[in-house]
C-alpha cells in the first residue's frame, strides 16, 4: 500500500523505537495512553531550556521578551490547528482532564439546581468524575447515553434524553477504550436544538483526525499535548468567546489578574483569566513543536495508514480461538480492545512485555464501559503512524505463544 511508506519514512523521527527492552526490539502499541515524542520535540525542549528560557508576561529583558513571543505564538498555532477564530479562545491547561475540570467548575457555576448534563456510558473517568462532583455541589442531574453491543452511541436514546433542562452535553470524540468514533456533528446539532452547550473531549482525536471547531460550531473542546506527540503537563481548552467571557476564574494568582487591591481584584479577559501562576512555558514550546510536526504530516494519510493497521490487526486477532474484541463500531480509530476466555489481561500484557511489546491492560479509566460489557478489563493495542504490519505479525505470534503458556498452567 502507498500509505505503508509513511511508517518507514517517520520511524527514524522517534529515537525511542531503537530501544530493546528485555533484549527485544521495542514494539510500542500504547499510543492511546501517551504518544512517544519525535526528535524535533525533544530538541525544541532541550534548546529552549539551554539557551532560550525566560519567564513570560513579567519582564522586559531579552530572554523574557523572546520567551513571551514564542509562548504567545504557540497559542496562535493551536488556534490555527483546530480552526479557532481567535487565539484568545485558547486556554492553556495541564491537559484534557484539567480542561474538563475547568469547564465543570467555571461554566458549571452558572448552572442551577435540577439542570441536566448528558454524558455517555463510554466516557473516560475524566469526563465523568468532574461532572459528578459538580452535580453534588449544585444538585444537578446527570444522564447517560447508552451504547449498543458494538460500543456505538444509541442516538435515538440520546434524542429522548434531550430536553429544555439539558444545559450541557459532554462527549468524547473517540473512545479511548474501544476506538469508537462518535458522530459529534450530529450530537452538536441536536444538543443545540435544545439550547444546550457541547463539550468535546478530543484527547484521542487531536493526533489522528482533522476537525475545525468553528465549522463544528462546538462550544468547548479539549485535548492533551502528550497524546499528540508533545510533552506531558500541557493541554488546551477551546471555548467560544462569549462563553469564556461569562465564566468566572477558578484559580487566583499571577497572570490572571488585572488589578489587585486589599479590598477587591479585577481579572484579565480570557484566556489569561484562567491561567493563574507561572505557566508551563517549556511545555507550551514543546506543544508548538509537536503541532509543527503533526502539520508536517498529512493527517489524512496518517488516518488512512492507521486504518490499514486496524483492519489488518483485527483480521489477525479474530482468527485466534477464544478471543473477543470489545468494540466493533462501524467507525473506529486505530484502537483494539480484546479479551480471551480464561486468561487475565494483566498476564497477557506481562508476557508480551518480555517480548518487548508494550500494550495496555486493565479498565483504561472506563469502568462504567467495562461494566456495560461485563468485564473487569481488557487488553488494548493502539497504533501510531510509525507502526507496521510486521510489528502486528510479531505481536500476534508473541500473543499465541503467551496463550499457549497461560492456558497450559
Q: Parallel, antiparallel, or unpaired for β 141-145 and 166-172?
A: unpaired
Task: Return phi, psi of residue 352, to 5°.
Answer: -65, -35
* Catalytic status, residue 365: yes
Block residue for cell numbers 442551577: 112
Only one residue has cell 484502537, namely 335
DSSP class of residue 52?
I
Q: Are residues 257 and 268 in contact, defined by beta-carbon separation less than 8 angstroms?
A: yes
119, β-bridge pairs: 144
Widest distance between CA atoms in the chain: 73
**Count of CA atoms in the C-beta half-sphere (13 A) of 142:** 22
Cell numbers given for 102: 475547568
Q: Residue 374, by phi and psi: left (phi above 0), alpha (psi -120 to 50) or beta?
A: left
Phi, psi of 339 (to 5 degrees): -125, 160
Q: Which three cell numbers stand for residue 210?
A: 482533522
**Which triple of cell numbers denotes residue 231?**
510533552
- Counting Cβ atoms within 10 Å, is residue 280 exposed (0-12), middle (13-18) or buried (19+)? buried
The alpha carbons of the chain give a radius of gyration, in whole angstroms, of 22
- Residue 142 forms beta bridges with which residues? 117
> What SS3 class is residue 219?
coil
Active-site residue among 236, 365, 366, 379? 365
Pairing of strands 335-340, 323-326: antiparallel
Q: How far apart are CA 285 and CA 47, in angstroms?
A: 10
Rounded Cα distance, 376 and 15, in Å = 35
Q: What angle do CA 98, 179, 38 make, to 5 degrees?
A: 65
139: Cβ contacts below 8 Å, ≥ 6 apart: 113, 114
Question: Residue 405 burial (CB < 10 Å; 0-12/13-18/19+)?
Answer: exposed
285: helix, strand or coil? helix
Would you please indicate which residues are annotated as catalytic (active-site) residues?
A: 365
Amino acid at each position: 500500500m502507498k500509505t505503508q511508506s509513511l511508517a518507514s519514512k517517520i520511524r527514524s523521527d522517534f529515537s525511542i523505537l531503537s530501544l530493546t527492552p528485555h533484549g527485544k526490539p521495542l514494539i510500542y502499541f500504547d499510543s492511546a495512553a501517551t504518544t512517544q515524542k519525535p526528535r524535533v520535540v525533544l530538541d525544541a525542549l532541550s534548546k529552549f531550556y539551554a539557551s532560550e528560557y525566560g519567564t513570560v508576561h513579567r519582564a522586559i529583558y531579552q530572554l523574557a521578551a523572546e520567551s513571551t513571543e514564542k509562548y504567545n505564538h504557540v497559542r496562535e498555532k493551536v488556534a490555527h490547528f483546530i480552526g479557532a477564530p481567535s487565539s484568545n479562545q485558547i486556554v492553556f491547561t495541564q491537559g484534557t482532564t484539567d480542561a474538563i475540570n475547568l469547564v465543570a467548575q467555571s461554566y458549571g457555576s452558572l448552572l442551577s439546581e435540577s439542570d441536566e448534563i448528558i454524558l455517555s456510558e463510554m466516557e473516560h473517568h475524566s469526563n465523568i468524575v468532574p461532572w459528578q462532583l459538580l452535580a453534588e455541589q449544585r444538585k444537578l442531574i446527570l444522564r447517560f447515553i447508552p451504547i449498543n453491543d458494538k460500543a456505538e452511541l444509541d442516538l435515538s436514546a440520546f434524542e429522548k434524553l434531550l430536553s429544555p433542562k439539558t444545559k450541557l452535553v459532554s462527549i468524547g470524540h473517540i473512545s479511548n477504550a474501544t476506538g469508537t468514533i462518535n458522530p459529534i456533528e450530529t450530537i452538536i446539532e441536536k444538543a443545540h436544538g435544545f439550547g444546550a452547550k457541547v463539550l468535546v473531549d478530543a484527547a484521542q482525536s487531536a493526533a489522528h483526525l482533522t476537525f475545525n471547531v468553528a465549522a463544528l460550531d462546538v462550544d468547548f473542546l479539549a485535548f492533551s499535548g502528550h497524546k499528540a506527540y508533545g510533552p506531558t503537563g500541557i493541554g488546551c481548552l477551546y471555548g467560544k468567546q462569549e462563553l469564556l467571557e461569562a465564566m468566572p476564574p477558578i484559580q487566583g494568582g499571577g497572570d490572571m489578574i488585572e488589578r489587585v487591591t486589599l479590598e477587591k481584584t479585577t481579572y484579565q479577559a480570557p484566556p489569561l483569566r484562567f491561567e493563574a501562576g507561572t505557566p508551563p512555558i517549556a511545555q507550551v514550546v514543546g506543544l508548538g513543536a509537536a503541532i509543527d510536526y503533526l502539520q508536517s504530516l498529512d493527517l489524512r494519510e496518517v488516518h488512512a495508514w492507521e486504518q490499514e493497521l486496524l483492519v489488518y490487526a483485527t483480521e489477525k486477532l479474530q482468527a485466534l480461538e477464544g478471543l473477543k474484541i470489545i468494540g466493533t463500531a462501524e467507525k473506529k480509530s486505530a484502537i483494539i480492545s480484546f479479551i480471551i476466555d480464561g486468561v487475565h489481561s494483566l498476564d497477557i500484557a506481562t508476557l508480551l512485555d518480555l517480548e518487548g511489546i508494550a500494550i495496555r491492560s486493565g479498565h483504561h479509566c472506563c469502568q462504567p464501559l467495562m461494566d456495560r460489557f461485563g468485564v473487569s478489563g481488557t487488553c488494548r493495542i493502539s497504533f501510531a503512524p510509525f507502526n507496521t504490519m510486521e510489528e502486528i505479525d510479531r505481536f500476534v505470534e508473541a500473543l499465541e505463544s503467551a496463550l499457549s503458556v497461560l492456558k497450559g498452567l
